[in-house]
Chain A
């Protein structure tokens, strides 16, 4: 079995078999990263460039760790300290890096479709680590993997994505990934932060948080992305928290235990309170651990296609 795609540009380019293969491979890597020696020599002759044109802590660390666990050579590039500042184009930047004999490029970029654009112009495997407000495929894969780990399977589960859906690449990738695996998806948030035509993706919109939580098995809570907001989408953070913030009291009144997820970083006390984030219902840290295993699987499976 191998992946049906040459790159990982988004979940919409994957099929169910691809996701199953990634998860099956991630299971093996999860065992690897829990051993005394957390490293395998599979990618010893592979060089990977991490190109981050936007700030990132978790994703960048997770990719770098995954690459090093696979014994790949890793180079890191961040736009703030590069020639991009001097006006160099994306293709020139990447081609210069490829001239150093790089096999795989992991890229985060503020522009939608940057990964697709790059895949058409350069001879390397491209992994999209987030392109603007479009997709973040590895985050969606690790989210699904974490649900599968916690609840046994994703199929038939009810998942609500809560919060700033409008600015979220995690939301879109999650919608694609969850639906591909047979889950039911709803989105919940202020109407100003719900994209206008989102129902065309086959998801329902719920503006009442309590109703959404009563319906779901899993709540994937998104961060309010203030850095992407040029205008005010809600009157105040306090009001947002009162209407869409998840606290322990709301969860206790549900009469059932739902799973709480968050892609990070958390605005504690805004979209989620500290007691919820740190409770036994939260699988936030499991998501982080699974992120390394899932990214190892993606990199490994793409590297398998590189012939010398």
Chain B
């Protein structure tokens, strides 16, 4: 299995700051905006961005939720391994709010489609945007595109984008792994 580094921790840090600034540009003080990280992988990015916005850009009362989409997926019985649910932590209503869905990698778009369905269980948002760290171009199964992207990547189906976070792997990094 060969592994190529797509982003180093320094590059990820620069990208996170850029994404935070882009969010501020569109959402000002976030009074009408909520961030929703998709469980499990998107929650790391969402938490990191929220921390950055609060500590480096002095955004107060930022609302961050974590959404599990397991029960909304359309590949429920089409996988070799059964799906295991994570917890959903959204302790606020999203009625009339601007929602930013956050995930680490945008590939087929099916997870985001599931998230769009799942989010409706918490109210009717004013609008929904999508933020991803990695956008795998030319891999989409659905007409879904991100509003904010960290890096666009051209990868073939035999390759997998692996995102490592400091919280889990002691170092931030993004790799392109070739499946054997």
The count of chain B contact residues (Cβ–Cβ below 8 Å) is: 21
Note all chain A residues with C-beta closer than 8 A to B76: 42-43, 303-304
The answer to whether B117 touches A25 (Cβ under 8 A) is: no
Knowing A41-B72, A42-B76, say if A31 contacts B122 (CB, 8 Å): no
| Chain B residue nearest in CB terms to A307 | B77
State A305–B78 Cα separation when bound (angstroms).
10
* B85 contacts partner chain A, Cβ-Cβ < 8 Å: yes
A93 to B64, CA, bound (A): 52
Main secondary structure of the interface of A (DSSP, over half): loop
Which of these binds chain B: A32-40, A80-88, A133-141, A270-278?
Answer: A32-40
- CB-CB contacts of A65-100 with B at 8 A, as 1s and 0s? 000001000000000000000000000000000000
Contact of A37 with B120 in the complex, beta carbons under 8 Å: yes
Q: Which residues of A258-308 are within 8 A (CB) of B?
A: 300-301, 303-308
Contacts of A231 in B (CB 8 A): none
Complex-state Cα separation, A307 to B73, whole angstroms: 15
Task: Tell me whether B96 is interfacial, beta carbon within 8 Å.
Answer: no
**How big is the A interface, by class?**
20 to 34
B contact residues around A305 at 8 Å (CB): 77
Q: Which of these, A36, A43, A301, A306, contacts B121 with CB under 8 Å?
A: A36
What 9 new A-B contacts, CB under 8 Å, besides A35-B121, A308-B77, A308-B78? Answer: A2-B82, A28-B88, A32-B121, A35-B122, A37-B120, A37-B121, A39-B121, A70-B71, A305-B77
Listed in ascending order, the chain A residues whose CB lies under 8 Å from chain B are: 1-2, 25, 28, 31-32, 35-37, 39-43, 70, 300-301, 303-308
